Each structure stands twice: as structure tokens, then as C-alpha cells.
Chain A
Amino acid sequence: GAVVSQHPSWVICKSGTSVKIECRSLDFQATTMFWYRQFPKQSLMLMATSNEGSKATYEQGVEKDKFLINHASLTLSTLTVTSAHPEDSSFYICSARRGGVAFFGQGTRLTVV
């Protein structure tokens, strides 16, 4: 069964609105979670590392104010895409490690119109 659950699996939003994506670790605690972005036919690019109880660590080039990350509990991290624009349309996927293996959520396909 799934180890990491991500919701929603797809979302369409209007330009200028914000979208929240949830990532939950199931049956285990994850002090660290990772958020990736994937453009069509490309690899996964790490956006940020989500740390429970502290600020997220963002990769170079990722706007902190644009992609808000909150890791409020040991099983939940959220990514909020603020003031979304069409160029933010992408596939977002989170992961958490259990037993030394990174397990991934189902991914969220975001389309901004």
C-alpha cells in the first residue's frame, strides 16, 4: 500500500489564486520531506527540503515567497503555490524517507489557467 499520500492528485486554478498541496506520511513519522517539480518529459528537480518545526530549505532559484512550505507535524507537509501563474503549471511530487528509502506521493498535476 501507499507509504506517502499526496492530495490533490490534480488541480486546475485561475491565475492569481493560491493552491495548497498536502503530503502525508502514512504510519510513520517524517521529520524531513522533500518537494520536487517535474516538467513534461523531464526529470525531477528538487525544490525544497521541508523540516518539521523549522523553516524549509529551498534550492537555488526557487522563490520562497512563491512556494510556501509548512511542515507543522511529523506526518504532514504542505506546499502552497501563491499567486499562481500559467508558468507554475507542472507536476509536483513529494517524498519522505522510511527505512532509508525515499517513498513518493502520487504527485499533483497543477494547471493554472
Chain B
Amino acid sequence: AQKVTQAQTEISVVEKEDVTLDCVYETRDTTYYLFWYKQPPSGELVFLIRRNSFDEQNEISGRYSWNFQKSTSSFNFTITASQVVDSAVYFCALSERGNAGNMLTFGGGTRLMVKP
């Protein structure tokens, strides 16, 4: 069975600080996909990144970066120089290729509060 754990339920930082959101996953599949989504107060989920299990290259997109390490089954997300607009709940999710329709299993989410 697949499982995603986000151990940090809430993180509070001051603007311009760097912050890392942790994500640890469990799966028996050798082919799988990992995602990060942002859920601002409005409620909709905003897609941030998808990573497949064969691509361990770290990725950077502006102030966002992701560190994928299969050895530790982790897919951590770092926001550099955080801003108030980054305040949201962030979800890590896993999709196994073998799942019918490729459903997503979500972690519990991490609520990030960036204070001015």
C-alpha cells in the first residue's frame, strides 16, 4: 500500500527566511510519481511539480526547489526567501503507475505561515 507522510503539520517563518517542507513516501512500485500541490485559503489545489521515480535530478523553479532522494524515500520542498504570499497548505502526493486511473494518495499537508 502506498503512503505519504508530512511530519510537519504547521510551520511558521518570518518573511525572507528559507523553509523546507518534508515529505516521506512508501510504495512497492518501482514506477511512481510524486507531486507537490499548494492550497491557498481559497481552497483550490495548485499544481507545483511532478517527478517520476526514475528522475532523481533536483529541480529549481524560481524560489522553489525540490530534493528527491530515493534512498531515503523523500521528496522535500524548499522555498527560498519566503514571502507572505507563500502562506498556504502544501500537500505532497504519490501516484503509483499500477493504480487504476492513477489516483493520488496525499500526505496530511503542511500549513506554512509566513509572517511579515
Contact = CB atoms under 8 A, between A and B. Distances in A.
Interface of A: 32, 34, 41-44, 46, 49, 51, 57, 91, 93, 95, 97, 100-107, 109
A43 B109 contact: yes
Contacts of A97: 101-102
B40 to A, nearest CB: 11
A102 B50 CA distance: 10
Contacts of A91: 43
A102 B100 contact: no
Interface of B: 33, 35, 37, 42-45, 47, 50, 91, 93, 95, 100-109, 111
Contacts of B42: 106
Contacts of B33: 100
B103 A104 contact: no
Given A43-B91, A43-B107, A34 B101 contact: yes
A97 B103 CA distance: 9
A49 B104 CA distance: 11
Given A102-B35, A102-B104, A93 B43 contact: yes
Nearest to A2: B44
9 contacts: A42-B109, A44-B91, A46-B105, A51-B101, A97-B102, A101-B47, A104-B45, A104-B47, A106-B43
Contact of A93 (B45, B95, B105, B107): B45
